Amino acid sequence: MSRIRILQFITPAGFYGAERWVLALANNLDPEAVTCDLAVTHESGHQDLSVATYFPTNIGKVHYLPTNGRFDWRVVSKLASVIRERNIDVIHTHGYKSDILGYLAARKAGIACVSTPHGFAGKVGLKMRAFIKLGTLFLKYFDQVAPLSEELVSDMRRFGVSDKKTTLIRNGVDLKEIDATATASSGQVSGGTGKAKRIGFVGQMIPRKGIGDLLDVFDTLYRSDPSLKLELLGDGSQRLELEAHAGTLRSASAISFLGFRSDRLEQLSRFDLFVMTSSLEGIPRCMMEAMALGIPVVAYDISGVDQLVEHEQTGLLAPLGDKVALAECCQRVLEDPSLAQALAAQARETIALQYSAARMANEYEALFARLLERQAPGKSPERVV
């Protein structure tokens, strides 16, 4: 059987969950069974294209698509040309812009299209809401949609995507990368060194991440233990606002905004506790990475997070917005090493069994193969009407 030829398409907004997800999938696909190319839009000289830089060359080729501004309809023709030149069988899109442009390119070139929704932004401007709405309208016309969580499956039903076109493939992290980090750290995959304990977060600094709550919770913990440190990895539209808020707190000198870090896993492996205060998530990759590294986790109890964290088993959960309860959960982990170790061990086992990128890649390979088998010769693709 000849290799299936896949084109991953993403319009990078940084180097965050969706971009890292694309790399995790590519790193775990079987190169004997799949050729996997990557296409990215090149929108400005300041755009972070790390997903293209780190894309594995043994699995396929990277294609840069120059654009005029952040949304350029001419990308459709450029994508269609790549599809024809590389004899692509399936285009696989990620995010509302790639869904719109990728769908149109797939239909122009006459190939199958698959979308993986990674979650939907909460509080956004009117223009962004309009584009996201348009992207969700396109999903019902895709050949297959593969949500990462049960919550996203429910969203697909709400958007009018038929159950026959929906295949749940749970999110996964690249344990090869995780274990390489652990080895490079001399096998120490949890905790910082010395007296000061590190509480940490990795992700975008945007409103739905609720980082203001994390700052307030840390300030409460710091009043009881001034040796604590808070380290925040990532960047985003809210960073300056959050830095200003942190500067008003008693714990200001113990809070570090580290920005984007290419060594995020090395930094993450040194945390004593990972805390997530999001109000909206799919299944968060940064939390999966922390759990895979053996870092105990505490979070607000929201959809998506509750797929990963079973309270008192693989982490501790507090009701959304309850900063007092969240602080109590953090304090329990920080003050009880045996609890922290037990939670971390069970979390790592859960990730290895249910949320590995190797398992995820196998399921996508099977999905792509089934999709091509169902493509009847000469059948016209379904079009937007």
Q: At 144, give phi and psi (nearest 5°).
A: -150, 145
How far apart, in whole angstroms, are the C-alpha atoms of residue 97 and residue 264?
A: 27
pTM over 0.95: no
Q: Which of 159, 143, 167 is nearest to 381 (CA)?
A: 143
Per-residue pLDDT, 123: 58
Task: Tell me what the mean pLDDT of segment 232-244 comes to.
Answer: 95
Q: Are residues 134 and 206 in the same domain?
A: no
Is residue 85 one of the residues assigned to a domain? yes
Per-residue pLDDT, 92: 98
How far apart, in whole angstroms, are the C-alpha atoms of residue 147 and residue 279?
A: 19
141 near 162, Cβ under 8 Å?
A: no
Q: Are residues 157 and 239 in the same domain?
A: no
CATH of the domain at 220: 3.40.50.2000
Is residue 385 one of the residues assigned to a domain? no
Would you say residue 382 has pLDDT above 60? no
317 near 309, Cβ under 8 Å?
A: yes
Is residue 205 one of the residues assigned to a domain? yes
Q: Where are the beta strands (DSSP E) in 250-379?
A: 255-259, 273-276, 297-300, 316-318
User: Token pair 């790549």 is at which residue?
Assistant: 82
Q: Are residues 254 and 202 in the same domain?
A: yes
Q: Are residues 93 and 189 in the same domain?
A: no
Could you tell me the residue range of the domain that residue 86 belongs to?
4-172+357-374
Is residue 153 one of the residues assigned to a domain? yes
Per-residue pLDDT, 122: 56
Is residue 287 one of the residues assigned to a domain? yes
Task: Tell me what the mean pLDDT of segment 304-325 comes to.
Answer: 96
List Cα–Cα distances, 284 to 21, 40, 125, 170, 172, in angstroms: 10, 22, 23, 11, 10
Q: Are residues 54 and 113 in the same domain?
A: yes
Is residue 328 one of the residues assigned to a domain? yes
Q: Are residues 150 and 199 in the same domain?
A: no
Is residue 182 one of the residues assigned to a domain? yes
Q: Are residues 20 and 126 in the same domain?
A: yes
Per-residue pLDDT, 191: 47
Q: Are residues 152 and 189 in the same domain?
A: no
Q: Are residues 274 and 201 in the same domain?
A: yes
Would you say residue 318 has pLDDT above 90? yes
How far apart, in whole angstroms, are the C-alpha atoms of residue 93 and residue 115?
A: 5
Q: Are residues 57 and 151 in the same domain?
A: yes
How many domains, the chain? 2
Q: Are residues 301 and 329 in the same domain?
A: yes
Q: Are residues 191 and 274 in the same domain?
A: yes
Where on the phi/psi map is residue 67: left (φ > 0), alpha (ψ -120 to 50), or beta? beta
Is residue 292 one of the residues assigned to a domain? yes
Residues 127-146 pLDDT 10s: 667 777 888 899 999 999 99
Which one has a higher pLDDT value, 160 or 16?
A: 160
